[in-house]
Structure 1
């Protein structure tokens, strides 16, 4: 059942291991990287309380010195204040250039720990051990790390590729339903990026995935990681093709920034962003009609958001405010928003010739005023 993928980046290439009960059997993978070196495990309270006992025996067997550094959970941790507090604590404990950082948690932990590892001593080794479906299928791969600002999501950050990524699918069975759905939002994205066969497979097998069947999880995480690894190998620093993995994210990040970070799960916002991107693709004549309805129907089947009020019924969703948020997106250049859209399932493209009116019409379709 174990799957091994390779991210090909020359001297910085690394493996992604996907398997059940991987934490208890992680020594063969971690020993070559951290044997005899000091380790800084960065995690949050929930993950460290639930799972550190599965990792600590391996750490005890291969290093005499490791420390746990806890950050707060949720999007609030992706801030300058939280990052500064973490770096101060690491430096106070004597973390030096020979140390290894293990990011042990979900996407937020991976982002903050990765950013800290890239900054401290101008960069030390990083290992990613993601513990959520979202982080296993997407955010732990590719080397992007960062924090949020008042202007938007992930606008300050860096690139630091990990030495290895260990995806233990056994950890996912204990996740809350919304956390699983959040990860599934990214899975739908990869289905749309890959093609008709993959998206149809998701339509038929989503219930098996959501019930945390290990074989289904290994397969779907392999699908996502394989897609991203291939794109990252071609465009590590996000200068071109890598933008395609942001399908749905221009909308999603605007939804999150407008409502307030942490108001709802990122992947739920991505799912609605995918519906929006498909609607916009149809609206400007880029693809045939019907894809957005199909994605919306699938979201309904999985009981995920299909309109803005499903994300938050307390938020006043104003189309002009959302559009202004999009203008702060990382892909906006010279005042033009670069949307990732679809010509058809499996054929994404970047388009910056989209009128404000077309975007407004898509937002109104989702329930904005």
Structure 2
């Protein structure tokens, strides 16, 4: 089991990564938590696979465990779902010293985290991500929240977990589409921060797709270490943390423009990364060879690398203008200068964005 630290002073916490470590959650919880009750928030699919192991591990060390299941899908990442969870927490007699544990993918983690941040002005929170996307991205860094019809994650908070446990063997039960979607975020970390990691991915991608324990543990631990370093330097996204949004400006717009029904998050981000690379090339920041390396790795992951022709550029521009990262009406993009290095570019002219959208 590897341990990666997120350094945030008194709110620092560990990320545990390894194969077959799910049943250690109880012992780790006793190490990091002080309350007696744990509300496990999950969905029916994940519950049928992993809830028993988690709940037995927690009960074995003396926790009183209750479960709340929410529907599976991005369309349920709403305030209405959170309201139902408040009822569940109150019914479970959860007190201020107790804990909410998220067991599932990014939707479960975001909703459960928002519940923890707001219930009784904040209770302890634990992330046990079971998808690759959640293990390498959404479970780390403390961003929690829900969607609004006008855009993704417009309602939320920064609220850090007490610890994160990523058992890489839970990925074996994922549909292949979800594994591929998670690989988009893994690719992102190589582009934004670590050229050597990007090269390692190019050399080891087949092992990742086969879910080799060693390869997946390396990819998850490295991705978490990169994100931990960025979050430790800029917890609330005043500067550096914005680089984690590489591919997300267009990615979120694609999701919103298609009402979260057409793409899973990693697919939209994959398209957004290749678009950002092309936009950087148009603006003179990036070389064509770098664009092709990113696009080639996206394709090897089995992910889309182009905007479907039936999605209108103006619909995407409108969605991007409503993104929460827009400031003074200016479009902001994270654009690569080289593999392993990106820059934050504010005020990208809409006509240039439009022209790349049209040709892309």
TM-score scaled by structure 1? 0.95
Partner secondary structure for residue 281 of structure 1:
helix
Q: 1:344 aligns with which of 313, 324, 338?
A: 338
1:334 CA drift (Å): 0.3
1:105 CA drift (Å): 0.5
Alignment correspondent of 1:365: 359
Name whichever of 243-252 and 76-85 sits farther off: 76-85
1:173 CA drift (Å): 1.1
Preserved CA contact (<8 Å) 2:129 2:139? yes
User: What does the per-residue CA deviation read over 1:96-129, in whole Å, with 9 as the maximum and x for residues that have no partner?
Assistant: 2121111111000000000000000000000110
> In the superposition, relative to structure 1, how do residues 36 and 160 fare at CA in structure 2: closer, same or farther (>3 Å)?
closer
Alignment correspondent of 1:137: 136
1:154 CA drift (Å): 0.6
Name whichever of 141-150 and 201-210 sits farther off: 201-210
Gaps of 5+ in 2: none
1:38 aligns with 2:42: no
User: What does the per-residue CA deviation read over 1:287-315, in whole Å, with 9 as the maximum and x for residues that have no partner?
Assistant: 22222222222222222102222xxx8xx
1:196 CA drift (Å): 2.5
Preserved CA contact (<8 Å) 1:131 1:172? yes
Partner secondary structure for residue 36 of structure 2:
coil
Alignment correspondent of 2:102: 103
1:318 aligns with 2:312: yes
Partner secondary structure for residue 330 of structure 1:
coil
Partner secondary structure for residue 203 of structure 1:
helix
1:239 CA drift (Å): 1.0
1:36 CA drift (Å): 5.8
Preserved CA contact (<8 Å) 2:110 2:144? yes
Alignment correspondent of 2:87: 88
CA distance in 1, matches of 2:69, 2:337: 44
CA distance in 1, matches of 2:359, 2:267: 17
Preserved CA contact (<8 Å) 1:252 1:266? yes
Alignment correspondent of 1:68: 67
Partner secondary structure for residue 308 of structure 1:
coil
CA distance in 1, matches of 2:63, 2:305: 51
1:35 CA drift (Å): 6.1
1:86 CA drift (Å): 1.3
Preserved CA contact (<8 Å) 2:27 2:58? no
CA distance in 1, matches of 2:32, 2:226: 26
Preserved CA contact (<8 Å) 2:111 2:144? yes
Preserved CA contact (<8 Å) 1:74 1:262? no
Preserved CA contact (<8 Å) 1:327 1:337? yes
Partner secondary structure for residue 95 of structure 1:
coil
CA distance in 2, matches of 1:79, 1:64: 29
> In the superposition, relative to structure 1, how do residues 275 and 138 fare at CA in structure 2: closer, same or farther (>3 Å)?
same
The alignment of Structure 1 onto Structure 2 pairs a total of residues equal to: 360
CA distance in 2, matches of 1:120, 1:307: 41
Partner secondary structure for residue 306 of structure 1:
coil
Preserved CA contact (<8 Å) 2:25 2:58? no
Preserved CA contact (<8 Å) 2:82 2:115? yes
Alignment correspondent of 2:205: 206
Alignment correspondent of 1:287: 286
Preserved CA contact (<8 Å) 2:183 2:301? no
Preserved CA contact (<8 Å) 1:129 1:165? yes
Name whichever of 107-116 and 335-344 sits farther off: 335-344
Preserved CA contact (<8 Å) 1:34 1:63? no
TM-score scaled by structure 2? 0.97
1:327 aligns with 2:321: yes
Name whichever of 120-129 and 83-92 sits farther off: 83-92
CA distance in 2, matches of 1:176, 1:148: 24
CA distance in 1, matches of 2:359, 2:178: 26
> In the superposition, relative to structure 1, how do residues 93 and 346 fare at CA in structure 2: closer, same or farther (>3 Å)?
same
User: What does the per-residue CA deviation read over 1:59-80, in whole Å, with 9 as the maximum and x for residues that have no partner?
Assistant: 1112251100011111022111
1:345 CA drift (Å): 1.2
